[in-house]
């Protein structure tokens, strides 16, 4: 019985800490290939499933298609795809929440052949 109570408390703590990521974050990114600009991510949860909407400025505003979202406590990994200059690209952005600031790194590759395109840092503050 005691083990069950400890397990239930652990699960509740994990769920509550993950729920802290919910919100809209606005900031910027800076890549090694010279690209930089505005970055926005909205994280939401529905029925225990995490969702993310990602957009950023790469010349024009790019609205990405989210492929997957993983949340582990204060850490998040979002994989999203977008089209740029006749190529389908995929970025994997990982970050960690510190206060109201979500920050981390990203890597971008070409979907067709997996070749690396860019990597860099991003930072966004909860609105």
pTM of the model: 0.83
pLDDT (tens digit per residue) in 109-118:
999 999 999 9
Predicted pLDDT of residue 59? 87
Domain assignments of the chain as residue spans, ordered by start: 2-126
pLDDT (tens digit per residue) in 29-47:
999 998 999 999 999 999 9
3-state secondary structure the chain: CHHHHHHHHHHHHHHHHHHCCCEEEEEEEEECCCCEEEEEEEEEEECCEEEEEEEEEECEEEECEEEEEEEECCEEEEEEEEEECCEEEEEEEEEEEECCEEEEEEEEEECCCCCEEEEEEEEEEEC
| CATH architecture type of domain 2-126 | Beta Barrel (2.40)
Predicted pLDDT of residue 1? 57
Average pLDDT, the chain: 89
Predicted pLDDT of residue 73? 94
Of the listed ranges 7-21, 47-61, 62-76, the least confidently predicted one is 7-21
């Amino acid at each position: 019985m005691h083990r069950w109570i400890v397990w239930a408390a652990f699960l509740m703590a994990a769920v509550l800490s993950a729920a802290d990521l919910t919100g809209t974050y606005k900031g910027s990114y800076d890549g090694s290939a010279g690209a930089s600009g505005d970055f926005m991510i909205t994280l939401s949860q529905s029925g225990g499933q995490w969702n993310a909407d990602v957009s950023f400025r790469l010349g024009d505003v790019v609205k990405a298609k989210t492929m997957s979202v993983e949340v582990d406590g204060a850490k998040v990994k979002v994989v999203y795809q977008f089209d740029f200059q006749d190529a389908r690209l995929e970025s994997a952005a990982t970050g960690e929440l510190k206060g109201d600031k979500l920050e981390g790194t990203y890597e971008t590759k070409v979907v067709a052949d997996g070749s690396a395109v860019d990597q860099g840092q991003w930072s966004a503050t909860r609105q």
